[in-house]
Amino acid sequence: MVREILEYPDPRLREVAKPVDEVTDEIRVLAEDMAETMYDAPGCGLAAPQIGVGKRIFVIDTATDDEPSDLRVFINPELLELEGEQTWSEGCLSFPELSEDIDRAEKVKVRALGVDGKPFVLEADGLLAVAIQHENDHLEGVLMIDKVSVLKRKLMQRKMEKRARAGA
């Protein structure tokens, strides 16, 4: 089921998400809904707080249009290692139509549980590494607007206020 994506400045985007106790069928349905919502948007990642669920889960698919889909589900993720630096022009489904250059680590090592409840470790670089860091931030209530200059932050705030007033 496609869920509604919350937009800045919804206060639910600022809450710190809680660990998942056990990977149950309910969690698997949530992960499915998140994937469906991400593909529908469309976006290359989605964190549970973006649909108003304060749990530590995110989904990512960085495959391009001409590649087969590559859905990854991360439950209770932990970033174990961050290395190097890279800058991407990032978007966020909670800031529709905005994009900003954000500095991130070039490579990340992440540990998480999969939908089978089993732990896995993944080393990623490029866009996948960026997406993992972006989604992990959502679980901490951190948003891309927090990572830009004061001037850009004000511009982003203004654009989002205007959008909210327009009833978008």
Nearer to ligand GNR, 27 or 47 (CB): 47
Length of the chain: 168
Q: Which of 122, 108, 33, 26 is closest to 74 using CA atoms?
A: 122
Tokens of 136: 């992990």
**Contacting range for ligand GNR; rule: CB under 6 A; set: 66-74, 77-85, 127-135, 151-159:** 127-135
Q: Closest approach of Cβ 44 to ligand GNR, in Å?
A: 4
Residues within window 10-69 making contact with ligand GNR, judged by CB under 6 A: 43-47, 50
- Minimum Å distance from CB 38 to ligand GNR? 7
Number of chain positions touching ligand GNR (CB under 6 A)? 17
Cβ closest to ligand GNR, residue 103 vs residue 116:
103
Which two three-digit tokens encode residue 25? 């069928």
Note whether 91 binds ligand GNR by CB under 6 A: yes
Active site residues: 135
Half-sphere exposure of 91 (CA within 13 A, CB side): 10
Alpha-carbon gap, residue 87 to 106, rounded angstroms: 8
Site string for Ni ion, 29-68 (x = CB under 5 A): ----------------------------------------
Residues 6+ apart with CB under 8 A from 135: 45, 46, 47, 58, 60, 74, 77
Burial tier of 118 (Cβ tally within 10 Å: 0-12, 13-18, 19+): exposed
Q: Which of 92, 113, 129, 139 binds Ni ion (CB under 5 A)?
A: 92
Residue numbers at the binding site for ligand GNR (CB under 6 A): 43-47, 50, 88, 90-94, 130-131, 134-135, 138
